[in-house]
Amino acid sequence: MSKTDTSEKLMEKIVSLCKRRGFIFQSSEIYGGLGACYDYGPLGVELKNNIKTAWWNAMTREHENIAGIDAAIMMHPKTWEASGHVASFSDPLIDDKTSKIRYRADHLIEGYIKQLEKKGKTDEAKRVSEEFVKAQNSEDMTKALYELIMKEQIKSPDSGAFNWTEVRQFNLMFSSKLGAVAGDAGIVYLRPETAQGIFVNFHTVRESARMKIPFGIAQIGKAFRNEIVKGNFIFRMIEFEQMEMQYFLKPGTQMEAFDMWREKRMNWHIERLGIKPENLVWYQHEKLAHYADAAYDIKYKFPFGTEEIEGIHSRTDFDLRRHQEYSGKNMMYSDPETKEKYIPYVVETSSGCDRNFLMVLCDAYTEQIEDGEQHVILKLKPELAPVKAGIFPLTKKDGLPEVAEKLYHDLKRHFKVQYDDAGSIGKRYYRQDETGTPFCFTIDHDTLNDQTVTVRYRDTGAQERLNLSQVKAFLTEKLS
């Protein structure tokens, strides 16, 4: 069996487990499903909340200079002009009908111009290049690009054919109309990233939270992208959740902060999410986005490939400067001690919550062969586990259920616990293993005599006796 076969099987197993046990469901499945949209089920929402809490606590509670916000998904349309999303968050695409390969229309023309230059046809290149600029600035850019390709008879670099579809525009932002106003005036977008909600609130948060530079603003929230390519389960969705922090600092100090946040964020994944260090890798961007002066991604070795789960980017003062330009409002910071005034630089840590979720699942998924039977264990970090403990009476007789129920009721106010008396004890342990419950407490006949219960560990199957009265303290200790 090839490696890819195994990997595909592994993803299939995880997807299947997610459906069967209530982690993730396909959105609106009874109608045939909606592409790249998923619902979190009863266990999924618990796990996701635990991941979000782990992030929120690590960022805001453990850093006195980071404050949290929860900004609206819809923002003033000018926000997206300032951020550059209206202009550059869309791609004009064209298909070669012969080779079935898709190109970006603007890249195609750029390539053509370069070729002309190479061949020494400088005048020709200059002329096309001028027309290219004109086309890009024209009102109907899509049509203008198409006409230019037709006029110059630009051939497909791949097949050499001249057999194109029309140029189509794919804007990755979802738009809607605000109120009853028709026309462009009322257009609003669903945010394609959460960061802008932080930038526009720079001053309001700084003042109300009494922050001095350097300080950060953290946010967890949904963002939306009308992706052309979707897939890999919840890895690339059109509606997704980001966990993001923008750290504002004095220009010149950004590399120091950048290195600090790189280290902190990598450690968070290892220590707080319990990810195996060997499955995480750094990736340095060579081609930087228009706003960045340094960019690293943390990637995880998913079964389907090594893919990004978090970006740590040094965004310079691009965003605040642009908002100052477009809004006309002053985005400068006045240093209370040195009296210096400047637009702060920003280091951003931006992590995909759903990608973290998938990573946690993939990393925890373990198969063990026991007595020839395959046994699936989700070795989740106890803090992240959707259910912290299972409470079982060994049998349904002799007053055992009553004792178990009492323990369950005592614990449920403090921890997410489950009571189960169905089927054999082994089956109940297995059920909990498969959903990552780290501990099970079993009430047996000895409990009636000496007030002790069995605690059984998920990862090893090992058992210990514990006094009934110590169960709560045991869980508190193990989960802190």
Residues of this chain, 115-154, that bind RNA according to CB under 7 A: none
Residue choice 304, 415, 419, 474 for contact with RNA (CB under 7 A): 304
With binding defined as CB under 7 A, does residue 193 bind RNA?
yes
DSSP state of 322: H
Query: Which residue, 88 or 476, has its beta carbon nearer to RNA?
Result: 88
Return the residues of window 93-112 that contact RNA according to CB under 7 A.
93, 95, 100-104, 107
247 vs 228: CA distance, rounded Å: 31
Return the residues of window 151-170 that contact RNA according to CB under 7 A.
165
Residue choice 375, 379, 416, 478 for contact with RNA (CB under 7 A): 375
Which among 210-218, 272-280, 337-345, 394-402 is the span making contact with RNA, rule CB under 7 A?
394-402
Residue choice 226, 279, 395, 470 for contact with RNA (CB under 7 A): 395
For the chain, the C-alpha Rg in angstroms (whole number) is 28
Q: What are 38's two structure tokens?
A: 């998923």
Site string for RNA, 14-53 (x = CB under 7 A): -xx--xx-----x-----xxxxxx----------------
Minimal distance, residue 21 CB to RNA, in Å: 8
Neighbours of 203 (CB within 10 A): 14
Query: Which residue, 35 or 251, has its beta carbon nearer to RNA?
Result: 35
Residue 15's SS3 state is: helix
The DSSP secondary structure of 372-412, one letter per residue, reads TEEEEEE---TTT-SS-EEEEESSSSTTHHHHHHHHHHHHT
Site string for RNA, 212-251 (x = CB under 7 A): ---------------xxxxxxx--x---------------
Return the residues of window 410-429 that contact RNA according to CB under 7 A.
422-427, 429
Residue choice 445, 451, 464, 473 for contact with RNA (CB under 7 A): 445
Residue 216's SS3 state is: strand
With binding defined as CB under 7 A, does residue 366 bind RNA?
no
Residue choice 272, 431, 472, 478 for contact with RNA (CB under 7 A): 431
Query: Which residue, 211 or 361, has its beta carbon nearer to RNA?
Result: 361
Query: Which residue, 36 or 294, has its beta carbon nearer to RNA?
Result: 36
Minimal distance, residue 243 CB to RNA, in Å: 13
Minimal distance, residue 84 CB to RNA, in Å: 4
Residue choice 23, 66, 85, 345 for contact with RNA (CB under 7 A): 85
308 vs 324: CA distance, rounded Å: 31
**b/e sequence 212-226, b meaning 16+ C-beta within 10 Å:** ebbbbbbbbbebbbb
Please give the distance of CA 408 from its chain centroid, rounded to a whole number. Answer: 35
Nearest to 91 by CA among 108, 71, 76: 108
Are 330 and 349 contacting, i.e. CB atoms less than 8 angstroms apart?
no
Q: What are 51's two structure tokens?
A: 């991941």
Minimal distance, residue 279 CB to RNA, in Å: 19
Beta strands in 285-431 (DSSP E): 294-302, 305-316, 333-334, 341-342, 345-352, 365-370, 373-378, 389-393, 417-419
Query: Which residue, 107 or 250, has its beta carbon nearer to RNA?
Result: 107
75 vs 178: CA distance, rounded Å: 11
Residue choice 73, 141, 376, 479 for contact with RNA (CB under 7 A): 376
Minimal distance, residue 425 CB to RNA, in Å: 4
